[in-house]
Chains A and B, each alone.
Chain A
Amino acid sequence: MNMKKIRRSLFSRTTLRAIVSITVFLILWEAGSRSKEWAGFTMPWIGLVPPPTSVLAVWWDLLGDTGYWQSWYLSLMRVLSGFVAAMVIGIPLGLLMAVSRTFNSITFPSFEILRPIPPLAWVPVAIIFWPTEELSIAFVTFLGAFFTVVINVLGGARSIDMRFYQSAQAMGSSQWDIFKRIVLPATVPSIVVGSSVGMGITWNVVVAAEMISGGGGGGGSGGGLGFFIWNSYVGGSYEQIVIGMISIGIAGYACSELLRGIGGFFTPWLRTR
């Protein structure tokens, strides 16, 4: 991308609208929070939330705090380990279920019974199962992405156009060749979709898991962003609660953007639409 293009996309109408959207949101929030000082009455709900200006002030101080960054790091590591494990196990499993009728009929019923169980319902069992609390949280995070990834891969591989198989077979493709050059690339878009949905769920799950389990073995300030929020609530720092929430939002968004980039790299034929 050259400079001209960057400038055009930076100052485009879409960017302008995004700025307006966030600014208006912040102004409304500030006004709502300061309703007591400014208008003499407390707005319901928003009136008790700290205003963005004081959140920003506290945040500024936190930026130099290693404990805060430690929380980022811990949550991110848990999300990544759970997510990567879900991809590594989920993609082959989904593909295997799609190509083998026998394997599918053996695994699918158990899979479908386990799938509706919310990851958080696994927390007590996970704590019993795994030797360390860290592993328990990673496991629950893994479950969050795992089922979504498998279902998407399975659905994607199943919906491949029959004519692709027929053409490939007629042109002399072996089973393995068909798998490698037809099934796999045809499933990549579903893998991308499954992983981005799964990534969203892992962030939902990790935060809740950290709150429930008390933040893992890091001790004191080292408990992840979920624990950071909970700790701030217990300690009465409402600004930090909001900071924790926004941090998760930013982290989740960054992860999704990264996945979109990686997904685009693996599906060059979809970029041309």
Chain B
Amino acid sequence: MASAQHGAMAPITSKISISAGEMVVSNVCKSYGTGLFEKKVVKDCSFSVERGKLTVMIGPSGCGKSTLIKLLAGFEKPTSGSILLNGKPVTGPGRDRLVVFQESALFPWMTSYDNIMYGPIARGENDQKARDLAEFLLDKVGLRDFRSKYPMQLSGGMQRRAELARAMINNPEVMILDEPFRGLDAMSKELMWEYYSALYEESRRTTFFVTTDIDEALFLADRLIIMSNIPTRVRATIEVDIPRPRKLADFFLGDRANEVKMTALSLLHEEAMKSFSGGSKAAADFVESYARRSQRA
């Protein structure tokens, strides 16, 4: 499938020169409402998204990760603290930080090709170079035969790949992915992990990846940031120093992978227990699945 086609192709760096950026988040707070109704969603959050690294953030669902994404992307402003891209404060959305949303945000009225060409056309760069790049990316994500299909005609996995291509054509310095593979079935999810991992290894673009899936987090991450329950803070940072290229077939057989996994799981479990006592449905689900997982292990 996608990964097979992809192996034989020219790497993405032959077409675009990647300029990887770096983001530093320091002491960021975000609350909604004021006075009595104030709700702190993010509290005193500090971390960095290192140049050329794939940073994965994981935390119990409903912990405010999506809020953090909105802040990094510039869709919303932090209540206090600072977010810097290459040393300059983030003031609004920009093509240097592109977001791939959970569930597809492809424009339903445009074909795959037109979706990918959205950015270049918006900036008045509808030239041969951009069109060539669009063709190249269509190939890269294995959608050559689906170039004139509308998003609704694509499978879930194809939609995510089209969306990745739509972001990549703009050559952002930082890619921000908000649970991009959520809602895919287990099979296509694992295919997407391998596919995405290979794509990343090719470009080494700075990436901030948010997920709730521990296996996904470990397989993709250079660095794993574990978040606390709401209000969101950084609970722990783990360097996932497992060499690349990684293959899913043997990844979880390695001692290091399992070691990191157990550490991460017990931290996540603690956080989930906290919200469990607070009566969160999502946390209850997590605790239950954690119990099942450790029985299997």
Give A contacts to B, CB under 8 Å: 161, 163-164, 166-174, 177, 181-182, 185-186, 188, 267-269, 272-273
Contact = CB atoms under 8 A, between A and B. Distances in A.
Contact of B118 (A166, A171, A188, A267): A171
Contacts of B94: 170, 172
A166 B153 contact: no
A167, A168, A173, A185 pick with most chain B CB within 10 angstroms: A167
A118 B185 CA distance: 52
Contacts of A161: 105
Indicate the member of B99, B109, B149, B166 with the most A CB atoms within 10 Å: B109
Which of under 10, 10 to 19, 20 to 34, or 35 or more describes the interface residues of B? 20 to 34
A163 B108 CA distance: 12
Given A181-B122, A267-B109, 9 more contacts: A168-B118, A170-B93, A170-B94, A170-B98, A172-B123, A174-B122, A185-B110, A269-B108, A272-B149
Contacts of A168: 118, 122
Contact of B153 (A164, A170, A272): A272
Contact of B122 (A166, A177, A267, A269): A177
Contacts of A167: 99, 101, 105
A269 B73 contact: no
Contacts of A177: 122
A267 B94 CA distance: 30
B169 to A, nearest CB: 9
Contacts of B108: 269
22 contacts: A164-B107, A166-B93, A167-B101, A168-B122, A169-B93, A170-B93, A170-B95, A170-B97, A171-B98, A171-B118, A171-B122, A171-B123, A171-B170, A172-B123, A181-B118, A185-B107, A185-B109, A185-B110, A267-B109, A269-B108, A272-B153, A273-B152
Contact of B99 (A170, A182, A269): A170
Nearest to A182: B107
B251 interface: no
Those 8 A-B pairs whose CB atoms lie nearest each other, nearest first = A171-B119, A185-B109, A163-B105, A170-B93, A269-B150, A173-B122, A172-B123, A169-B93
Interface in B5-34: none
Contacts of A188: 109
A188 B110 CA distance: 13
The listed residue with most A CB atoms (<10 A of its CB), out of B74, B108, B119, is: B108
B118 A170 contact: no
Contacts of A273: 152
A49 B199 CA distance: 75
A122 to B, nearest CB: 37
Contacts, number: 64
B119 A269 contact: no
A181 B123 CA distance: 13
Nearest to B99: A170
A186 B108 CA distance: 8
A237 to B, nearest CB: 51
A268 B114 CA distance: 14
Contacts of B149: 272
Nearest to A271: B150
Nearest to A266: B109
A166 B95 contact: no
Nearest to B150: A269
A271 to B, nearest CB: 9
Q: Which has the most chain B C-beta neighbours within 10 Å: A161, A170, A177? A: A170
A240 to B, nearest CB: 48
A181 B117 CA distance: 12
